[in-house]
Amino acid sequence: MLESAPDQLPFRFAVYSWDGSEDGLRLVTSKMRDGAQLVGVTPPSNLAKLTRLLVDPRCNHVLTADDSGFATVAVTIQKFVTGDLFGIEKYLPKDTAVHLTRLREYKGRTAAIDEVLAYAEKVGVRRQVRSAIGQVAEELLMNALYDAPVDESGTPLFAEVDLKERLDKLSPRPVSIRYAATENGFALSVRDRFGRLDKATVLRYIDKCLHSPQQIDRKVYGAGLGIYLIANAATQFVLNVAPGMATEVVCTFDRKTARASLRALSVFVYPGAAQQQLQQSQAG
């Protein structure tokens, strides 16, 4: 029983299944040593509840207690043990064919999305699910091409560039998109070479969109709306970050259910950077 556990659990990470309440989360994280990470397993829930749990700096992974969630627990533990964070293949059955496209500009983004959707249609993914896949691919590629790039001083390259003017500009580093189909699902990942996205930003964007008193507007919310739309369209949202080097977002979809809810929200940061971010969040 957790109540009889020692004052401080001597683990680098722990898997904890509970009813999903914030009180239950605080009970276990209060016993974890500095730098330890919690993999939370909860009953199926909504986006607002999942993101509230992730506000705790020691909880970067919330998975649902079903077959899909338990499979993702195994992948999550493997990533902790090996330190190998990147790769869509980890979320696919062994020997699944993975397709790759690289791009650096808006035209390449359009061609990549067309390529992904043509493949999804070829393998029999339902039209409504293809629509969700296309929306997520568009948002991830726009973020990778135009929100991620910064100059040597860390200043965003396209923040002050009008959307129409962006279309003719190249991203300074290539963006890659990978995709694959399984018997019951479809998986998609986009990777940039800047490593700027973090959990705090994702949670802030989602919270802002969840609690907006007005209809969400693209001009006002920008990249934040994109993150929110992705979290609402995918069944898994996994963020892998090597700060200053690369960001990879992995999303999965249920081929048979267009309105499937999010079953996993997970953020991995390379160990040294994760410890530094934890210390900064506690200091703030």
Tokens of 248: 């990879």
Q: Which of 86, 85, 99 is closest to 133 using CA atoms?
A: 99
For residue 190, being part of any structural domain is answered with yes
pLDDT number for residue 223:
55
Quick: pLDDT tens for 158-174: 877 776 777 777 888 99
Max CA pair span of the chain = 62
Q: What is the mean pLDDT of residues 175-194?
A: 96
For residue 162, being part of any structural domain is answered with yes
For residue 115, being part of any structural domain is answered with yes
For residue 19, being part of any structural domain is answered with no
pLDDT number for residue 222:
52
Query: How does DSSP classify residue 73?
Result: H
For residue 240, being part of any structural domain is answered with yes
Q: Is the pLDDT of residue 24 over 50?
A: yes
pLDDT number for residue 13:
85
Residue with tokens 């963006």: 175
d(CA 124, CA 16): 37
Q: Is the pLDDT of residue 115 over 90?
A: yes
For residue 207, being part of any structural domain is answered with yes
d(CA 233, CA 218): 17
Lowest mean pLDDT among 12-21, 249-258, 264-273: 264-273
d(CA 284, CA 278): 10
Q: Which of 15, 144, 174 is closest to 79 using CA atoms?
A: 15
For residue 20, being part of any structural domain is answered with no
CATH number of residue 277's parent domain? 3.30.565.10
Q: What is the mean pLDDT of residues 261-267?
A: 92
Quick: pLDDT tens for 44-76: 889 999 999 999 999 999 999 887 777 899 999
Question: Whole domain around residue 229: which residue ranges?
Answer: 85-283
Q: Which of 185, 211, 147, 180 is closest to 264 using CA atoms?
A: 185
Whole-model pTM over 0.85:
yes
pLDDT number for residue 214:
59
Q: What is the mean pLDDT of residues 210-232?
A: 69
Lowest mean pLDDT among 118-132, 164-178, 231-245: 164-178
For residue 155, being part of any structural domain is answered with yes
Number of domains within the chain: 1
pLDDT number for residue 65:
83
pLDDT number for residue 107:
87
